[in-house]
Amino acid sequence: MNKKKWSVTMAVVLCSGGMFAFSGLLVPSLANSAVIAKYSTATPVSAKASPAGSAVPVLKVEAPVPVSTVNDDLLLKQMTEEQIQQIYDYMELPGDPNTSGREMTEAEINRRRVLEDQYVYDGVRPQKPLPLQAGQGEVYFDIKTNTYYQPERTWTDEELLQMIDWSYRLNLVASKRNITAPVVAVPEKFSKAEVQARAAESVRKLFDADISKLKTNVMLVEPGHGIPSFWSVHSEPYKSHTLLGQGQEYWQYSVQIDPDTGVVADTTAFNSVMKRTPIDTAAAAAMKKDDSWVKEATRIVKDKQGEKRKIVKAYLTGTEVNNKRGMVAVDVLLEDGSKYNAEFRYPGKQLRCLIYEPAGKAK
């Protein structure tokens, strides 16, 4: 299976250590939200932005809840056999696609984000599909050379919509063709509802937020490429592309749960606008004498996480790397050998993520 096929078929959301990484991006300059998650469920709701710098987001439900207009059957019915075959031909091309022309500006990327939400929720569509050969516009994809051609001038809304529309149709057709049963099926000891409930409780305890008021996707990630299986629960406001494109603040939450034990392994909060402040040499030296970070990590493990086992040791870790990231990480060791890792944003001490490693797995 070539790389393009694998990325479309798998489309796994990896949230290791609280970092959000998406695979299956098939169109250059387009962060595609139509990532295929065969085992996902979604409950769309909204969020109200919290005050800048606040550690606790302010959430509320908006009515009516928007409904996606991207219907698989409808999109397929609107496509001709020739158009579907063109996507099959694209999937057989070796290697990743090339690009020709200038990269999108930040302003164009933000316009594209807003338009993508309008495409999904408001039914906005391009007047014509993306051209797949030269001579029909400045923006097109040449299947023969596996190359996307982008304009040197400012993108029009029509061109952005054509690229958005092409990416959704591309992922849709590819998913219908390439979905196969996993080689090693992971038994589901917990239902999606149980997993989502555990994720919601973890987010509530650590961040005082309610993910039932957010669009939540639940997916059992199959093992592979050295990564063990885990439940992934990702929550964000609906129309988050619009919020991001408009520079508004919002929160996302990512939770990983062990599929065998049901234990929460990682709970992470991501803020769309909060900037990182690297820790310089002087601040790093002062931090070594400041036990407030360790005390805060211990407090969170005991008071928020509700840990009853005895804490035997807590200390700063990964300082060389984390100083550059503007993060402060604290390892909290328990009496049975289990470990928590609490990561905070510098300098405000806002909790970013809490990672748990049971005894035997903790390093």
Residue-wise pLDDT tens digits, 14-53: 333 333 333 333 454 443 333 322 223 333 333 333 333 3
At residue 72, does pLDDT exceed 60? yes
Percentage of the chain modeled with pLDDT above 70: 79
> Residues 332-361: what's their mean pLDDT?
96
Predicted TM-score (pTM) of the model is 0.75
> Residues 168-174: what's their mean pLDDT?
87
Range 278-363 has CATH code 3.10.450: yes
Predicted local distance difference test score (pLDDT) of residue 178: 58
At residue 111, does pLDDT exceed 50? yes
Predicted local distance difference test score (pLDDT) of residue 172: 86
Instruction: Check: CB of residue 48 under 8 Å from CB of residue 60.
Output: yes
Least confident of 83-87, 230-234, 260-264: 83-87
Predicted local distance difference test score (pLDDT) of residue 186: 60
Predicted local distance difference test score (pLDDT) of residue 42: 35
Predicted local distance difference test score (pLDDT) of residue 208: 96
Least confident of 87-96, 125-134, 243-252, 278-287: 87-96
Instruction: Check: CB of residue 234 under 8 Å from CB of residue 42.
Output: no
Percentage of the chain modeled with pLDDT above 90: 61
The secondary structure of the chain in percent helix, strand, coil, rounded to multiples of 5, reads 35, 20, 45
Domain parsing of the chain, residue ranges: 3-42+67-178, 278-363
Instruction: Check: CB of residue 354 under 8 Å from CB of residue 341.
Output: yes
Three-class secondary structure of residue 271 per DSSP: strand
Predicted local distance difference test score (pLDDT) of residue 171: 87
Sign of CA dihedral 239, 241, 244, 246: negative
At residue 278, does pLDDT exceed 60? yes
CA dist 296 → 146, 305, 320, 326, 354 (Å): 53, 12, 20, 17, 12
